[in-house]
Amino acid sequence: MSTAPLTVLGEEEEIFRTTVREFAEQEIAPCVERMDRAGQYDPDIVPKLFDLGVMAIETPEEWGGAGGSFFLSILAVEELSRVDASVAVLVDVQNTLVANAIFRWGAKDLKEKYLGQMSSGTVGAYALSEAVSGSDAFALQCRAAKDGDDFRLSGNKLWITNGAEAGVFLIFATLDPGAGYKGITCFVVEKGFEGFSVGKKEDKLGIRASSTTELVLDGVRVPKENVLGDVGRGYRVAIETLNEGRIGIGSQMVGIAQGALEDALGYTSQRKQFGQPIGEFQAVQFELARMATETEAARLLVYNAARLKDAGQNFVKEAAMAKVFSSDVAERVTSLAIELFGGVGYTRESPVEKRYRDAKIGKIYEGTSHMQLQTIARQIQRG
């Protein structure tokens, strides 16, 4: 049962949404529970995502992509999250962070090489976080050193989404710790580079099929051609890319909330107590109404931020608002869904238990809710 609005979409966008939704229901839904329990994707999921075309939505056709809009990426993440947030975040990171950054900041040869790979079968990962640099994302310990014309990277990265599946990594390291953010540089690193390895995989509460790993950099040699943007411009690459990525996380949260709402609508129309479906009791109807209203409000915040981005307008405040609000909504709606399911909602037998676990990450990654609130406050105070 779907309640997602279509009136705000153009015809092409509506067709795209329907295509992704049908794929998610037919190809992903049957293996969601299995992937969650195993803590990894089924082996045929990632190739199917490439075949569908959602791994290179914004990438221009000359490099094998669809040449679509940022908004289409947001729609894809929402629809995939409605079925499985783990699959959705793989697509989200691929499009809104990695491919987006390479397209915007990469030299022509870099774009041709890596965007082509990422359109045809290579997964990307974005490696900024470290043990001592969470919300203070630029207190980096990972070091880059000149080695002739090339660079050597040393250190560790933590909590890297897509770490187990990726073949291409955007790695941020500092050449000069004393220069602060001006010493940070972004490097495009291939999984096969000597000295690079994937370390521990985290055992997580939610989005369990999505890999979250450590990266070990043991003197990884990176050719100078693989600097993304200019040396010392990594801060700008990171912050501007993350502003866009936060809209993607917002759409993930909207999809989770939408899925939980639909689960609750279905269950309350079938579950009977006192001789009638529980959905006919006013108290339950009010909860469903609140869930639907908040989900729709979150969706419109996300869509507005995405539209602003596509229009080339400032969207920093709107992206932060979309992420912080949709994260709150996803957590609240999934929690209410569990309550409406009653005892069974607290067990692995119900779909809403997983959605509740998946929703929690929204307040944490790609900028915590507190950091988003700080961004919003600064933006509105500036006028």
Tokens of 24: 């998610």
Torsions phi, psi of 315, nearest 5? -135, 10
Q: Which of 27, 78, 214, 366 is flagged as catalytic?
A: 366
Cα distance between residue 73 and residue 248, in whole Å? 8
- Core vs surface per residue 64-80: b (16+ CB within 10 A) or e: bbbebbbbbbbbbbbbb
Quote the CA–CA distance of 279 and 269 in Å, as a whole number. Answer: 5
The whole-angstrom separation of Cα 60 and Cα 115 is: 9
Region of 159 please: left (phi>0), alpha (psi -120 to 50) or beta.
left
Class of domain 11-123: mainly alpha
Residue showing tokens 């979409």 = 9
Record the pTM. 0.96
Domain pair 11-123 / 125-232, same fold? no
DSSP category for residue 155: E
How many Å apart are CA 176 and CA 232, to the nearest integer? 9
Distance of alpha carbon 132 from alpha carbon 146, whole angstroms:
24
Q: Where are the domains of the chain?
A: 11-123, 125-232, 236-382
Q: Say if CB 119 and CB 65 are below 8 A apart.
A: yes
**Homologous superfamily of 125-232 in CATH?**
Butyryl-CoA Dehydrogenase, subunit A, domain 2 (2.40.110.10)
pLDDT at 3: 52
Residue with tokens 């100078």: 224
Neighbours of 133 (CB within 10 A): 17
pLDDT score for 299: 98
Residue 286 carries which side chain, given as an amino acid letter? F
Instruction: List the chain pLDDT tens, one digit each, 383 residues.
Output: 455 544 579 999 999 999 999 999 999 999 999 999 999 999 999 999 999 999 999 999 999 999 999 999 999 999 999 999 999 999 999 999 999 999 999 999 999 999 999 999 999 999 999 998 877 867 899 999 999 999 999 999 999 999 999 999 999 999 998 888 899 999 999 999 999 999 999 999 999 999 999 999 999 999 999 999 999 999 999 999 999 999 999 999 999 999 999 999 999 999 999 999 999 999 999 999 999 999 999 999 999 999 999 999 999 999 999 999 999 999 999 999 999 999 999 999 999 999 999 999 999 999 999 999 999 999 999 98
Question: What sections of the chain are H helices per DSSP?
Answer: 11-23, 32-38, 45-52, 70-83, 85-92, 100-105, 108-110, 116-120, 234-270, 282-310, 316-341, 351-359, 369-382
CATH superfamily of 236-382: Butyryl-CoA Dehydrogenase, subunit A, domain 3 (1.20.140.10)
Cβ-based neighbour number of residue 173 at 10 Å: 29
Say whether 112 is catalytic: no
Q: Per this entry, what is the length of the chain? A: 383
Structure token digits, residue 236: 């700008």
